[in-house]
A = this chain, B = another copy of it.
């Protein structure tokens, strides 16, 4: 085991009874973001500037489906896309406020005022770079996977520490939380067919051809059957957070665009997530219906400014795939984190040990053919990957 950058801890477990391959993949590295003054040649730059690099740190988890390929490719590419997109805007990041023009040249005297009125800050450029990097990565993966005849997709959860702030970008159903001394701060939310129902239904409303007459965009509490035709049953359309009653027509008996409850919820009967990377070729089985138009590769980015908080030695960012969160809630994880770190103050590997401890807890114990969390609860049946990233005095590393 090599130590991870930043002294972060990592652990994973393959659910051996489910599949041969680990569909979870992890990546972490230092990001060296090269600053280039426009108009300066490389050599001039090296001579003039001693601080020609800004250093960032990157950790990411990818949960694959339809095989581990997409997760493996994403784990090889995303950090590079992020580095590239950060380098494209780094000239604007190092200013107190990003300039209207990346060149710094002021075309219009009141440009700084326009930027200020829009409240644009350096951190908005990092957020924009992450959003663009996910999109770029998805495009590259599409080409790569088509060229090499690989299929599948993956979720992506990436954390980037840069210039004193922790950015968490999420597309999928992994989760990151900050466990601080007095507080647990969610740093991501999950994108599933359930949480994105309205977006998915709206797309099907705008482009009905995407469903090719095989699915209904309406949501019902259960799959309808012949007996329901003519009856008024509970339903929701794309514009509704509430519920209404709809007289059932024959077309409503089609399979629903979003169907199932909780972990069983599926998009087009096919996918359990609504955001992620890959799946460019994915079609609904036995049809010509493409799933990709309904998927989004855009992450939601949350920012945590470490300078605004009194960061303690045991404060950590926990990142994990759904294998962990399926069986442990934020509160349970936070409790385990706090008590483990309090009891293991001096262990130099305590963050790795904590990651292992979390993974083992979620995997549970084998009893006969079953893996159990405790007497009454089943353990996770999924791959489980966990990062534990300490936040304290990181700039000294």
Partner of A231, one of B107, B242, B245: B107
List residues of chain B with CB within 8 A of the CB of A164.
none
Decide if A92 touches B239 in the complex (CB within 8 Å). Answer: no
Interface residues of A in 76-99 (CB under 8 A from B): 85, 88-89, 92, 98
Interface contact B222-A128, CB-CB below 8 Å = no
A236 within 8 A of partner (CB): yes
CB-nearest residue of chain B to A231: B101
**Shortest Cβ distance from A86 into chain B, in angstroms?**
11
Residue ID in chain B nearest A131 by CB atoms: B240
Interfacial chain B residues near A107, Cβ < 8 Å? 225, 227-228, 231
Cβ of A92: which chain B residues have Cβ within 8 Å of it?
234, 245
Whether A239 touches B135, Cβ cut-off 8 Å, given contacts A115-B234, A117-B261, A245-B89, is: yes
> Which A residues, 110 to 150, have Cβ-Cβ distances below 8 Å to chain B?
110-111, 114-115, 117-118, 120, 123-132, 135
Q: Knowing A131-B240, A242-B126 touch, does A222 contact B108 (C-beta < 8 A)?
A: yes
A221 pairs with B118, CB closer than 8 A? yes
- For the complex, is A298 an interface residue (Cβ under 8 Å from B)? yes
Contact A127 B241 (CB under 8 A): yes
**Interface size of A by Cβ–Cβ distance < 8 Å?**
53
In the complex, the answer to whether A103 meets B232 with C-beta atoms within 8 Å is yes
State whether the Cβ of A333 lies closer than 8 Å to any Cβ in chain B. Answer: no
Given the known interface contacts A88-B245, A125-B244, A240-B131, the answer about A232 and B102 at a Cβ–Cβ threshold of 8 Å is: yes
By the criterion CB–CB under 8 Å, are B261 and A118 in contact?
Answer: yes
Of residues A114, A118, A123, A221, which shows the largest number of chain B Cβ atoms within 10 Å of its Cβ? A221
Known contacts A111-B222, A222-B108; is A301 also within 8 Å of B103 by CB? no
**Distance A20 CA – B163 CA, assembled complex (angstroms):** 56
Whether, in the assembled complex, A105 has its beta carbon less than 8 Å from a beta carbon of chain B, the answer is yes
Q: Which of B88, B103, B244 is A128 in contact with, Cβ under 8 Å?
A: B244
Within the complex, what minimum Cβ distance (angstroms) separates A390 from chain B?
Answer: 26
Do the beta carbons of A234 and B120 come within 8 Å of each other?
Answer: yes
CA distance A118 to B243 in the complex (A): 11
Q: Is the CB of B131 within 8 A of A241?
A: yes
Interface residues of A in 12-59 (CB under 8 A from B): none
Q: Is A206's beta carbon under 8 Å from chain B?
A: yes
A89's closest neighbor in chain B, by CB?
A: B245
Tell me the complex Cα distance, A110–B128, Å.
47
Q: Could you tell me the distance between the alpha carbons of A117 and B221 in the complex, rounded to whole angstroms?
A: 8
**Which residues of chain B are within 8 angstroms of A282 by Cβ–Cβ distance?**
none
Residues in chain B near residue A228, CB distance under 8 A: 101, 107
Q: List 5 A-B contacts (CB under 8 A).
A: A101-B232, A117-B261, A130-B242, A239-B298, A241-B301
Known contacts A128-B236, A239-B298, A241-B301, then 18 further A-B pairs from the complex at CB < 8 Å, ordered by chain A residue? A89-B245, A98-B234, A100-B221, A100-B234, A102-B245, A108-B225, A110-B222, A111-B221, A115-B234, A118-B261, A120-B221, A120-B234, A125-B243, A126-B242, A127-B241, A128-B243, A129-B244, A206-B206
